[in-house]
A and B are shown apart, each in its own frame.
Chain A
Amino acid sequence: MPQLGDRTMPSLTQIRLLAAILIIFAMILPVSANVQKFKWPIEKVLLTATFGESRGDHFHSGIDLGGDGQEIRPISDGEVVYYFDEAEHPLYKSFGNGNLMIIQHEQSMRSYYYHMKKASVIPDKATVKGNDIIGITANTGRSFGAHLHLGVGGKKGYINPLSILSEYPDSIKPEIASIMLFVDDRAITVPQKYRVTGIDSFRLLCKTWDSQENIRKLNTLGPAEILFHIDDQLVRRIHFDRLVEKNGRLTLSDGSSFEDIYTKSGFLSGGEYRNLIGLHRFKVVASDFRKNSSSKTVEITFK
């Protein structure tokens, strides 16, 4: 007859089984945590532009990966929704996006591949697997050097591709070059302590850029987040996490338009202020996607 203790006390075999299950679970867990991570589309990754940067009159809707002649693979399995290869069209040249492909993945997610080499894009099937080559990096369309533009999003709008790709090494902090006041169509670079008179209203600006180990000398990357503080109070947060459609245009997720965020010269805007009197502390904090951050503070006395 079975004893009560037999049922409450696990046998050695049961303990081993439980341990094995726990070990297997522990091994699976990191994989599960990474299940949303997608593959980089090219092998030698050189990040040359980030999500949300200024492109003159609109936000950069993806990331740029530099390099010529690299094989491009989809970030995941999917279905080709659209492609354009000028090699197929005897009387058309590629336009701004160059030779391109758009692939639809699960849950209505789409990935966008631009500026690919002529005659490298034409697919021979409607569905693509992760290991299929879908094109070669090149310099077609509105492009000033061979690179792949990678966009990720839904049918409308985009997310920062870095949020779904496996991690990319970056230990270098963004650099805040200057904090500026934009007054009467003129940007005034503010020294650490500054006294001004006769300024009733101004737009607070900053000039910042980011670097990464592989591209440090070029300093061309944009930060992922910028915080503007006045007297230790957060007055503006710019977060380049996604671009969403608003009235037919793409804005940041908080509804900020391109013109709200960037000046014509490409400086980042911390908002417009008026009637400030006396001493005020202006602080800008810039962070990259890997949370490396730096800050700069200036003091301005308004008379």
Chain B
Amino acid sequence: MSLPHERFKAHGELSPLSTHLFSMTKILLVMLLVTISTRTVSSSGSIATISRIETRQNSLVRSRLTSAADPAWPSSAPLHALWPDTITYFNKNLDLLHAARFSTNEFFTSDRWGYATYTKTGNTIEVFNTNGEKISTHNAPAWPRATGSSKWLLLYTGDQSGLAALERASGTLVAPYQQLASLVTATAINEQEQSIVFGMVDGSLEKFSLRDTKTIWRQHPPEGRLSAIKGLTIQSGDSSILVVSGSRPETFSRYSNSGKLLWSTPTGGDLRTQVMVHAGYRYTASQTAAGLILYDLDSGSIVRRLEPNLPSGKRVTWTSFQETKTGEILASISSGSFSAIYHLGPDLAIRNVSFVYSPWMECTLADNATQVVALAGQNGIEICRSLEIAPCLP
């Protein structure tokens, strides 16, 4: 699969100057789309938007467009937003709970339940809750990546440095660091089972119990295959694990209890690294260099490709996927400085697609019953009344 700018080159019809002008035109077109989108929102913003937080020159500007008594007001809290050097948490009224800013030698990882920090020259990880209260401190040989759930925080780092799990509320180390022979590249937590699944750069996949810190099963890739687990998630309902693997990627699903293969689908010869894999109720989605591929969760058959052809001409670096119980889908695809936001109906037809000037966009369903949507990006957070009118970004 070629990238957009490679396709232009392949035709051999455009000179470098023409290509440059063409790219500039594309960017201007997208800026125009953003403007149109903004105007559309402005005309209906008072209806669509419940509340909004914007970042303006390192300050947060908050506006409440409806009252908290509105039945569509989000019930889930807290809300979590990230900027390259700042973590912020808000309550459901969008009051700021906590904000933390970091220097270049401080590493952090965060999710909606809290965050963890580490200094480049230090040996300890400090774990905080959404109010900024320190929960625990742990020795760690290297700065890890983290995967979170409401109960657990999973920390994993490079080859041999291993993997550990914390109970989030108490800070207890439920699974002490265990060393691994290979580099961990993807993890997921099964909260119901108190287990985790992790994939490694050698292509193997392992399920591990947080109750007794023992391996439940381990699966190795077929001999000779160029494998590396790129991303994985556990399906809603915890019945299967969805994985993207290989330098010529394939997406496959394994039964959670046995590790046996449920289905496998090649996704095309494309080069990718950090890959988001998203699970829903009927569909799963995996990130590719060009966008998102949606699969049927039962069969693995590809049901839709969302490839917005964003003007950066770069690989997709960020995706999010949200499926409601009524079958509607909200998804975001980011590349370079732009993001595309899709709203698909239960029939998977595109009802709306919008472009925003943000290098990432996280779409979450803040309230499943009322379908209130939270959209977080570089420019701020927008709480929208429903999927139908999303996105309603400023």
Partner-B contacts on A (CB < 8 A): 55-59, 61, 79-85, 88-93, 95-97, 102, 104, 108, 112, 114, 123, 125-126, 141-142, 144, 151, 155-157, 245, 248-250
* Cα–Cα, bound, A142→B109 (Å): 16
Contact (Cβ within 8 A) B145 A82:
no
- Chain B residues near A250 (CB-CB < 8 A): 159-160, 179, 181
Query: Could you say which of A82, A142, A156 contacts B228, with CB atoms under 8 Å apart?
Result: A82
Question: B141 in the interface, Cβ–Cβ < 8 Å?
Answer: yes
* Residues of chain B within 8 A of A90, CB atoms compared: 84, 317-318, 334, 359-360, 378
Q: Which residue of B lies closest to A83 (CB)?
A: B273
In the complex, what residues of B have CB within 8 A of residue A112's CB?
159
Q: Is the pair B247, A82 in contact by a Cβ cutoff of 8 Å?
A: yes
Instruction: Judge whether B179 and A249 touch: CB under 8 Å.
Output: yes
A residues less than 8 Å from B269 (CB atoms):
126
Give min CB distance, B249 to chain A, whole Å: 11
A142–B120 Cα gap in the complex (Å)? 6
Bound-state Cα–Cα, A102 to B230, Å: 13
CA distance A250 to B178 in the complex (A): 12
Select which of B141, B183, B359 is within 8 A of A97 by beta carbon: B183
Given A82-B185, A97-B158, check contact A104 B247 (CB 8 Å).
yes
Q: A102-B201, A156-B202, A250-B179 are in contact. List 6 more A-B contacts (CB 8 A).
A: A56-B141, A91-B318, A92-B145, A102-B183, A142-B142, A156-B181
Task: Knowing A61-B159, A155-B182, A156-B202 are in contact, say whether A84-B273 is a contact too (CB < 8 A).
Answer: yes
Interface of B is mostly: loop
The total of chain B residues at the interface (CB under 8 A) is: 47
What are 5 A-B pairs with beta-carbon distances under 8 A? Answer: A58-B160, A96-B144, A142-B120, A155-B227, A250-B179
Q: Establish whether residues B181 and A84, one from each chain, have CB atoms under 8 Å apart when the complex forms.
A: no
Mark contacts of B152-179 with chain A using CB atoms, 8 A cut-off: 1 yes-contact digit, 0 otherwise: 0000011111000000000000000111
Q: Is B84 a contact partner of A55 (Cβ separation < 8 A)?
A: no
Q: Is B141 touching A57 in the complex (CB atoms < 8 A)?
A: yes
CB pair A82–B273 under 8 Å, yes or no, is: yes
List residues of chain B with CB within 8 A of the CB of A88.
273-274, 315, 317
A91, A141, A144, A155 — most chain B CB neighbours (10 Å)? A155
Report which of B158, B160, B203, B360 forms a contact with A155, defined as CB distance below 8 A: B203
Contact partners of A97 in chain B: CB under 8 A: 157-159, 183
Given contacts A96-B144, A156-B181, A250-B160, contact A80 B315 (CB under 8 A): no
User: Is the beta-carbon distance between B142 and A89 smaller than 8 angstroms?
Assistant: no
- In the A-B complex, the 3 residue pairs with the smallest Cβ-Cβ separation, listed nearest first, are A96-B142, A58-B160, A96-B158
Provide the residues of chain B in CB contact with A142, threshold 8 Å.
Answer: 120, 141-143, 158
Contact B201 A249 (CB under 8 A): no
| Known contacts A95-B157, A104-B247, A155-B203; A89 and B318 CB within 8 A of each other | yes
Q: How far is the CA of A180 from the CA of B306 in the complex (A)?
A: 65
Task: Give the residues in chain A near B262, CB-CB below 8 Å.
Answer: none
Give the residues in chain A near B181, CB-CB below 8 Å.
156-157, 245, 248-250
Name the CB-closest residue of A to B110.
A91
Instruction: Select A249's contact among B180, B203, B226, beta carbons within 8 Å.
Output: B180
- Chain B residues 350 to 394 lying within 8 A of chain A, measured CB to CB, are 359-360, 378
CA distance A104 to B180 in the complex (A): 20
Task: State how many angstroms separate the Cβ of B49 from the closest Cβ of chain A.
Answer: 24
Identify which of residues 305-344 in chain B touch chain A, using a CB-to-CB cut-off of 8 Å.
315, 317-318, 334
Tell whether B277 is near chain A: CB-to-CB under 8 Å.
no
Residue in B160, B215, B315 with the greatest tally of chain A CB atoms within 10 Å? B160
A156 to B248, alpha carbons, bound, how many Å?
20
Point out the residues of chain B lying under 8 angstroms from A82, CB to CB. Answer: 183, 185, 201, 228, 230, 247, 273
Q: Is B271 touching A123 in the complex (CB atoms < 8 A)? A: yes
B292: Cβ under 8 A from any A Cβ = no
Whether B73 is near chain A, meaning CB under 8 Å from some CB there, is no
Q: Contact: B273 with A55, CB < 8 Å?
A: no
Q: A84-B273, A97-B158 are in contact. Are A57 and B179 (CB under 8 A)?
A: yes
A39 to B8, CA, bound (A): 36
- Rounded to whole Å, the gap between the CB of B187 and the closest CB of chain A is 12
